[in-house]
């Protein structure tokens, strides 16, 4: 099972106290830090989390904000957007040479993977393999349901399961660009993702909508400790595309 557990934290006076972290870390494969710059994460508490993760050889994945940006040294992945990317370079960003600027920032952070989310330009990855960009795709969607946190969780799950960083980033992009579920997906989500009940969907959904439903069921299965083989039977037309 490859999952990322949240470390319990509480505010005590002006300091952060990491509760039962050693016990939690024995069952942890990866740590995701979503830094919303609300005062909960401080340089001291971040340093403690990173030190404990390093002691247990656990990779750390970070969605940062500018205040603590360079505190996250040596993590597995850090994921700034373009505004955070430019700010981190202190105005030295060369708009004509994005690749060199990204490589420079990756070196400053000493991170294995720098993932820059660039809006309509897609995602750019910087690693020891150089730069790789995944283009975004337009989709028609409906009901509101933000997907940013889900997207980084999907990247982590794929990365821990052995996917290449390009494959993991493609999964991230596929989820992140779909900011909303359709009405059918919204109705089916709870049963597919939170229960083991069999589900039959009889609705005139498009191909991409059906695939998302199948993916939700697959994510449910791979969270189990000893999941078996998953068989996805797709319509012949989709297999031939």
Confirm whether 149 is a catalytic residue. yes
Match 């191909």 to its residue by tokens: 207
Catalytic residue (one of 149, 190, 196, 238): 149
Cα–Cα distance, 61 to 169 (Å, whole number): 13
Q: Is 186 exposed, middle or buried (0-12, 13-18, 19+ CB in 10 A)?
A: middle
Cα–Cα distance, 81 to 170 (Å, whole number): 16
- Of 141, 144, 175, the closest CA to residue 158 belongs to 175
Q: Is 57 left (phi over 0), alpha (psi -120 to 50) or beta?
A: left
Q: Let me know: does 151 contact 27? Beta carbons within 8 Å.
A: no
* Per-position DSSP letters for 37-77, written without gaps between them: SSSSS-HHHHHHHHHHHHHTT--EEEE--GGGGGG-TT-SE
CA atoms within 13 A of residue 237's CA, in its CB half-sphere: 3
Match 């505010």 to its residue by tokens: 11
- Of 75, 36, 118, the closest CA to residue 102 belongs to 118
The catalytic site residues sit at 149
């Amino acid at each position: 099972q490859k999952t990322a557990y949240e470390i319990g934290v509480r505010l005590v006076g002006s300091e952060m106290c990491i509760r039962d972290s050693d016990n939690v870390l024995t069952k942890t494969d990866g740590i995701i830090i979503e830094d919303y710059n609300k005062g909960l994460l401080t340089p001291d508490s971040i340093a403690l989390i990173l030190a404990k993760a390093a002691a247990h050889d656990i990779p750390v994945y970070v969605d940062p904000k500018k205040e603590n940006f360079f505190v996250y040294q040596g993590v597995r992945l850090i994921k700034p957007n373009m505004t955070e990317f430019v700010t981190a370079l202190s105005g030295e960003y060369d708009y004509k040479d994005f690749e060199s600027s990204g490589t420079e920032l990756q070196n400053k952070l000493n991170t294995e993977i720098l993932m820059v989310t660039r809006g309509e330009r897609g995602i750019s990855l910087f690693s020891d393999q150089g730069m790789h960009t995944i283009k975004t795709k337009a989709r028609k969607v409906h009901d509101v349901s933000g997907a940013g946190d889900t997207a980084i969780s999907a990247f982590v799950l794929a990365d821990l399961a052995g996917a290449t960083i390009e494959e993991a980033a493609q999964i991230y992009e596929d989820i992140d660009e779909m900011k909303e579920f359709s009405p059918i997906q919204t109705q089916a989500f709870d049963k597919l993702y939170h229960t083991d009940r069999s589900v039959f969907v009889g609705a005139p959904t498009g191909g991409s909508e059906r695939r998302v439903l199948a993916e939700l069921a697959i994510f449910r299965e791979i969270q189990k400790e000893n999941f078996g083989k998953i068989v996805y039977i797709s319509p012949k037309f989709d297999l031939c595309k």
